[in-house]
A and B are shown apart, each in its own frame.
Chain A
Amino acid sequence: MTKRFALGIFDDEDVLLHAVENVREAGVKIYEVFSPFPIHGIDDALGIERSRLPIAAFFLGMTGLAFALWLQIYTLGFDWPMIIGGKPHIALPAFIPVAFELTVFFTCHGMVITFYTISKLYPRWKTPVLDVRSTDDKFVMAIELKEGTDMGKLTQLLRNNGASEVNEKEMSKF
């Protein structure tokens, strides 16, 4: 499906931040904002909810810890108990390092896999972008154009809020 966008191009992240607040106040829905680096405070301005990734991290870590303890206790304590230096089969203090490492392992890899999956980031042959300068030095506010959107009024609104350019772009499969 082809979508049409109005793109407000900004030169400065602070100007963009104000523009986001003002555009939203004017009742215009912002499709997405693209920037070359994270802008502090834009989550609140755009109304992006706080990420629940830290909760996922906690449970991933707990999974790793549980797996590590099960692995060590099951293999050395039950499946094939061996006498090593006359020590107990289940020597919990000796299991701490591996338990710690697997907790970290599960947390990190789980987090990264979750991040790429929910953000739909995967290797692709071609990556269409709305404005190539948005990964260099420009801050791009994209507003989806529906039937009957007044482009002139929108341009005026973005211009008044400090946009250095306002462009229109069609994108298929975006």
Chain B
Amino acid sequence: MQHVSPVREPLVTGGKTYHDVTQDISRQVEAAPNIRWMAALSVALFFLGVFFYSVYRTLWYGIGEWGLNKTVGWAWDITNFVWWVGIGHAGTLISAVLLLFRQKWRTSINRAAEAMTIFAVICAAMFPVLHMGRPWLAFWVFPLQNTYGSLWVNFNSPLLWDVFAISTYFTVSLVFWYTGLVPDFATIRDRAKGPIAKVAYSLLSMGWKGSAKHWSRYETVSLILAGVSTPLVLSVHTIVSMDFATSVVPGWHTTIFPPYFVAGAIFSGFAMVLTLMLITRVVFKLEDYITIEHIALMNKIMMVTGSIVGVAYITEFFIAWYSQVEFEQYAFINRATGPYWWAYWSMMTCNVITPQLVWIRRVRYSIPLTFVLSIIVNIGMWFERFVIIVTSLHRDYLPSSWVMFSPSIIDIGIYVGTMGLFFTLFLLFAKFFPVINMAEVKSVLKYTVDNGPTYTGHDPHLGATHQHSTHGVPASAPVNYNKHD
């Protein structure tokens, strides 16, 4: 048994039993799609259409459809790539890092956060693949024999490291997520009424029966996957930052980039988790599982990582001055006061100033304010990448090639389109898959109460003194006594 501090707020409110958990979470999987879901899906599908049209234009006419020019060869594509990959980081952080730290509150948000990770990485992958111009030759990024079309790949290049990092991250997140889903698919399979649902969830559940032996292995596998995913999640954005840091462009060539990017990734990821969870808990009536405490805790993580990002911004400025490299100094003066000053100050306001409001308890516990704040952070993090990429490139070493960048309609179409792709996938997930990990929530249900488990017998872990008594055995399922009830 675990000790639960009496001051700790319960993880699940509303005095739920095991059966209630199953009911509440299976409800939206089993019910017919409601009108709000259909409306949301049609909006998402419209933007998915925008995405397909923009991709068609890009592939048919070429990269010239984008707003890039000779000086600014990387702009919205890489901005959006880094933005989406960053958003993806929160899922693995919640499911792996918080698992290792035994943070039990993660149980009700990890499923949706991992799904978000997978969909965000799919959206992110669109940008480098499309920027290749000929995506049907995308397999050239893999180490294939020279006779297969290209030379061996260059393992010294951070862009290639990215290929390995993103592919590993995506596939590992996918199997981690799926393995977690298997027991819940079994729950839905055993409740299914319709013939299609029966077969579909039977196939998805891989014949899971919940035997003790399987659970034992399942827990071992989860722990090991969490253990290796933790350095993995840190490595992914580190490698993304090396795409910039290993170059000699002023404003990019800094050793601070890896930790700064990782903090920024977690920051934006938690903002996106908050945005999605605040909507999901209301639409699917899951307020008892994703409680105000969860929101406050995620707000705190957002504030910590946001502050790290703020320190990184200021450090960059200081080092630019301290280094006495005039190119570096100009890059930073140009960021703050040059033609893109508005992007820089949007980034500063959204990422450094507004998240500090979370120090105030009322803000942390306010749902509307948290929602607004999470959107602001997402906007700010997009501007961060835009500022790093475009302001460093548009005025390079040669003043004769200084230009301005403005996105074309196709650039905007692809970016907005990936949001359509993301929300289409997320809405389908939310309808057909359980959005909360039922098995894990059930396993923490008893520890969320302050007056202990209902069974008042002796603790099996405390010693070998067995009193074989059956007194105190409850006749019904355990009740989650809640101190607020």
- Least distance between B124 CB and chain A CB atoms (Å): 16
B213: nearest chain-A partner, CB-CB: A48
Size bracket, chain A contacts:
35 or more
Size bracket, chain B contacts:
35 or more
Q: Are A14 and B151 in contact (CB under 8 A)?
A: no
Tell me the residues in window 39-98 of chain A with beta carbons closer than 8 Å to chain B beta carbons: 39, 41-43, 45-46, 48, 51, 53-54, 57, 61, 71-72, 75-76, 79-80, 82, 84-85, 87, 91, 94-95, 97-98
B219 at interface by CB-CB < 8 Å: yes
Q: Are B466 and A21 in contact (CB under 8 A)?
A: yes
B223: nearest chain-A partner, CB-CB: A54
Q: Among B172, B183, B199, which residue has its beta carbon within 8 angstroms of that of A105?
A: B172
Q: Are A41 and B461 in contact (CB under 8 A)?
A: yes
A135 at interface by CB-CB < 8 Å: yes
Query: Whole-angstrom distance between the alpha carbons of A115 and B180 in the complex?
Result: 13
Contacts of A18 in B (CB 8 A): 457, 460, 466, 468
Q: Are B156 and A91 in contact (CB under 8 A)?
A: yes
B198: nearest chain-A partner, CB-CB: A126
Q: Are B217 and A119 in contact (CB under 8 A)?
A: yes
Q: Are B224 and A41 in contact (CB under 8 A)?
A: no
B440 at interface by CB-CB < 8 Å: yes
Contacts of A43 in B (CB 8 A): 212, 216
Q: Are B477 and A42 in contact (CB under 8 A)?
A: no
Q: Are B152 and A80 in contact (CB under 8 A)?
A: yes
Query: Whole-angstrom distance between the alpha carbons of A95 and B457 in the complex?
Result: 57
B324 at interface by CB-CB < 8 Å: no
Interface centre among A12, A37, A41, A42 (most CB of B within 10 A): A37
Q: Beta-carbon contacts of A23-51 to B below 8 Å, as 1s and 0s?
A: 00000000011111111011101101001
Interface centre among B151, B153, B209 (most CB of A within 10 A): B209
Contacts of B454 in A (CB 8 A): 12
Q: Among B153, B189, B210, B225, which residue has its beta carbon within 8 angstroms of that of A108?
A: B225
B42 at interface by CB-CB < 8 Å: no
Query: Whole-angstrom distance between the alpha carbons of A32 and B214 in the complex?
Result: 10
Given the interface pairs A12-B478, A45-B460, A76-B155, the reply to whether A135 lies near B183 with Cβ below 8 Å is yes
- Least distance between A96 CB and chain B CB atoms (Å): 9
Query: Whole-angstrom distance between the alpha carbons of A137 and B191 in the complex?
Result: 12
User: Interface-forming stretch among B45-53, B66-74, B200-208?
Assistant: B200-208
Given the interface pairs A97-B164, A115-B221, A123-B204, the reply to whether A164 lies near B475 with Cβ below 8 Å is yes
A126: nearest chain-B partner, CB-CB: B202
Prevailing SS type, chain B contact patch: helix
Contacts of B468 in A (CB 8 A): 18, 22
Q: Are A115 and B217 in contact (CB under 8 A)?
A: yes
- Least distance between A164 CB and chain B CB atoms (Å): 7
Q: Beta-carbon contacts of B111-145 to A below 8 Å, as 1s and 0s?
A: 00000000000000000000000000000000100
Contacts of B146 in A (CB 8 A): 80
Q: Beta-carbon contacts of B438-458 to A below 8 Å, as 1s and 0s?
A: 111011000000000111010
Given the interface pairs A41-B460, A105-B172, A118-B217, the reply to whether A136 lies near B164 with Cβ below 8 Å is no
Q: Are B155 and A137 in contact (CB under 8 A)?
A: no
Contacts of B161 in A (CB 8 A): 97-98, 101
A53: nearest chain-B partner, CB-CB: B220
Query: Whole-angstrom distance between the alpha carbons of A32 and B473 in the complex?
Result: 22
Q: Are A101 and B439 in contact (CB under 8 A)?
A: no
Given the interface pairs A15-B455, A135-B186, A162-B470, the reply to whether A122 lies near B206 with Cβ below 8 Å is yes
Query: Whole-angstrom distance between the alpha carbons of A21 and B336 in the complex?
Result: 70
Contacts of B80 in A (CB 8 A): none
A121 at interface by CB-CB < 8 Å: yes
Q: Are B460 and A17 in contact (CB under 8 A)?
A: yes
Q: Beta-carbon contacts of A92-113 to B below 8 Å, as 1s and 0s?
A: 0011011011101101110110
Q: Are B478 and A11 in contact (CB under 8 A)?
A: yes
A132 at interface by CB-CB < 8 Å: yes
Q: Are B228 and A104 in contact (CB under 8 A)?
A: yes
B33 at interface by CB-CB < 8 Å: no
Contacts of A45 in B (CB 8 A): 460
- Least distance between A8 CB and chain B CB atoms (Å): 13
Q: Beta-carbon contacts of B168-198 to A below 8 Å, as 1s and 0s?
A: 1001100110010011001101110000001
- Least distance between B477 CB and chain A CB atoms (Å): 5
Q: Are B155 and A105 in contact (CB under 8 A)?
A: no
Q: Among A38, A75, A82, A129, which residue has its beta carbon within 8 angstroms of that of B443?
A: A38
B185: nearest chain-A partner, CB-CB: A135
Q: Are B199 and A38 in contact (CB under 8 A)?
A: no
User: Interface-forming stretch among B17-25, B57-65, B400-408?
Assistant: B17-25
Q: Are A116 and B206 in contact (CB under 8 A)?
A: yes
Query: Whole-angstrom distance between the alpha carbons of A80 and B455 in the complex?
Result: 69
- Least distance between A33 CB and chain B CB atoms (Å): 4
Q: Are B212 and A122 in contact (CB under 8 A)?
A: no
Query: Whole-angstrom distance between the alpha carbons of A85 and B248 in the complex?
Result: 13
User: Interface-forming stretch among B231-239, B326-334, B358-366, B370-378?
Assistant: B231-239
A120 at interface by CB-CB < 8 Å: yes
Q: Are A135 and B206 in contact (CB under 8 A)?
A: no
Tell me the residues in window 146-164 of chain B with beta carbons closer than 8 Å to chain A beta carbons: 146, 151-156, 158, 160-161, 164
- When A and B form their complex, which 7 residue pairs have the shortest distance between CB atoms, in order from nearest? A137-B18, A38-B215, A97-B161, A132-B190, A37-B443, A75-B152, A101-B164
A to B CB contacts below 8 Å, 22 in the list: A14-B453, A15-B473, A18-B468, A34-B210, A35-B210, A36-B22, A36-B439, A41-B460, A80-B152, A82-B154, A97-B235, A98-B160, A108-B175, A108-B228, A108-B229, A109-B172, A119-B217, A121-B208, A127-B208, A135-B190, A136-B22, A137-B18
A104-B231, A109-B172 given. 6 additional CB < 8 A pairs? Answer: A12-B455, A14-B453, A48-B212, A97-B164, A107-B224, A115-B218
